């Protein structure tokens, strides 16, 4: 990508339009005078790009996160201890026991 002088391009386009030399718009754009960006412009562009990337990451990476409900705070926890001393769970009844810090996809916070 390169920066072009739009005023010079407009002037060249108008001149070509009236002279009718047959040059295409694509040719005019390809041969438009190039502007060398200043260091301040480059830094501003890089800062804007970085800010956009951070905002994109913040919105998209955080969008898929959900609250985790630990078994100790879950409505499905049965306050009866198993042979191992852990609590039972309605969702996993008969398939094992859970500790306070476990969690699963069915966890619902007690109110």
Domains of the chain, by residue range, sit at: 1-32, 36-65, 66-111
Residue 93 has pLDDT above 70, yes or no: no
| 49-91 per-position pLDDT tens digit | 999 888 888 777 766 677 889 988 999 888 777 777 778 888 8
Beta strands 3-4 and 34-35: pairing type?
antiparallel
Cα 105–chain centre separation: 24
Copy the structure tokens of residue 83: 């042979």
Predicted model pTM = 0.41
């Amino acid at each position: 990508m390169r920066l072009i002088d739009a005023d010079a391009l407009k002037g060249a386009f108008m001149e070509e339009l009236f002279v009718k030399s047959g040059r295409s718009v694509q040719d005019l754009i390809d041969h438009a005078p190039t502007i060398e960006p200043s260091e301040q412009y480059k830094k501003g562009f890089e800062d804007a790009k970085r800010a956009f990337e951070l905002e994109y990451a913040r919105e998209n990476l955080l969008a898929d996160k959900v609250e985790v409900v630990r078994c100790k705070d879950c409505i499905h926890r049965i306050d009866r201890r198993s042979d191992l001393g852990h609590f039972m769970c309605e969702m996993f009844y008969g398939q094992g026991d859970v500790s306070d810090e476990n969690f699963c996809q069915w966890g619902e916070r007690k109110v």
